Structure 1
Amino acid sequence: MATNTTSSVRRTSPATDLALIAVFAGFVAAFALTPAIPVGSLGVPITLQTLAVALTGLVLGPRRGFLAVLLYLVAGFAGLPIFAGGAGGLGVFAKPSIGYLLSFPFAAALAGFLAYRLLATPRRALWAWLAGAGLVASFVLVHPAGIAGMATILHLDLGKAVLADLLYWPGDVIKNLVAGFIAAQVHRAFPTLRRS
């Protein structure tokens, strides 16, 4: 009896978790290096990086999502040219995008936490719920941190930094809708992912 219960809730192995963390760190790096759309003189381009961060959290959950994005940041801070525009090293701390970057592991963790709570019970339109989890993480963590980073580095007052950040909201909504849709398909295909 105990054996059947254990096998029905079989969890992923540490090796699988490490592999997923490494693969998704690479995934975030690849999306960060997609062609960037410059936004005025702000120095914070629009990339697909936030889509990858949301998707990492939604698919891997809070712990693995956090670690995957943290691994990506550590590799970039160590000098690998894997940030937007091929940047890398500690010089990115002087760029206005630093607030966004530093928020990413926490946003992945929050999106993953919310997603895994949503996945615990069957839901209609799961993709929309997952997209909502990504949007909450983005609007609660990524955007406030980005505003703080731009205000600090560019010496903007808070109002101007908020207005500058609003330029990124429409794209963020679209990217989280896409992330929610992809995450729903991944979880349907690989339901054991959430048994970590």
Structure 2
Amino acid sequence: MTESPTSTDETPAAKTSRLDTTDLALIAAFAALIAVCSYLAAIPMGGAGVPLTLQGFALLLTGALLGPLRGTAAVVLYLLLGVAGLPVFAGHSSGPGVFVGVTGGYLWSFPVMVLVVGLIVKYVLRTRRTNPFLVFAAGVVGVVINHIGGIIGMAIVLHVGLPEAAGFDAPYWIGDFIKAAVAAVVASQVHRAFPKLLARRA
């Protein structure tokens, strides 16, 4: 006599559609990584005084390693912590007012940036995500998204044209490409060591 499945049984599809404790731990850990990197090398640059940080490295690494779902969740958690008052933004700033400040455009672009990088690494690169050059290409797309958001944000807040805002943003491109290259090397090696890191989650 066979027993019917109990209500606690889960199909493989159900198991891959929800976040488990490991996923939640990774989300929290990478949110903390983004916060820590927002403090490191926070040097004001350019005419608008936007600080140069290692935040871009952490964001690109988050998307490349956690994928679109968990990566975006980590960024959203980081942003919510800042809105709640924890000084996790660049320059030890916090609160919703930062989102309408000179750096607000960059912040708004963070979830989109990480989502796109995660989608490319997981679904476009697939088994080729161990190639640092291809991961770097995905990171470049993320850098472009981040800078477009920053330029638009500065143009709105500073009441200047897009060309002038792009001039304020220009000094950060080289540094962000370097961060993308380092993140690509790290991410590709992690995927080589843990080939199933993105296998289960969206």
Does the 8 Å contact 2:38/2:53 carry over to 1?
Answer: yes
- 1:133 equivalent to 2:162? Answer no
**Residue identity opposite 1:161 in structure 2:** A
Match of 2:152 among 132, 139, 148: 148
The DSSP-based 3-state class of the residue aligned with 2:123 is: helix
Cα distance in 1 between the residues matched to 2:69 and 2:186: 20
Aligned to 1:84: 90
**Residue identity opposite 1:189 in structure 2:** A
Aligned to 2:193: 189
Unaligned runs of 5+ in 2: 1-10
Instruction: Report deviation, 1:167.
Output: 1.4
Q: How many residues align?
A: 187
Does the 8 Å contact 2:99/2:108 carry over to 1?
Answer: no
Match of 1:172 among 165, 169, 176: 176
> TM-score w.r.t. structure 2 length?
0.86
Does the 8 Å contact 1:43/1:97 carry over to 2?
Answer: no
Does the 8 Å contact 1:151/1:161 carry over to 2?
Answer: yes
Q: Highest CA radius of gyration, 1 or 2? A: 2
Instruction: Report deviation, 1:44.
Output: 0.8
What is the identity percentage for the equivalent residue pairs of Structure 1 and Structure 2?
47
Structure 1 residue ranges, 4+ long, deviating more than 3 angstroms after superposition = 10-13
Does the 8 Å contact 1:80/1:88 carry over to 2?
Answer: yes
- 1:50-129 maps to which residues of 2 (within 5 A)? 50-122=56-128, 126-129=131-134
The DSSP-based 3-state class of the residue aligned with 2:134 is: helix
The structure-2 alpha-carbon separation of the partners of 1:13 and 1:78, relative to structure 1 and needing over 3 Å to count, comes to closer
Does the 8 Å contact 1:61/1:113 carry over to 2?
Answer: yes
The DSSP-based 3-state class of the residue aligned with 1:45 is: strand
**Residue identity opposite 2:190 in structure 1:** V
Cα distance in 2 between the residues matched to 1:184 and 1:39: 30
Cα distance in 2 between the residues matched to 1:157 and 1:128: 35
Cα distance in 1 between the residues matched to 2:162 and 2:124: 34
> TM-score w.r.t. structure 1 length?
0.89
Does the 8 Å contact 1:57/1:65 carry over to 2?
Answer: yes
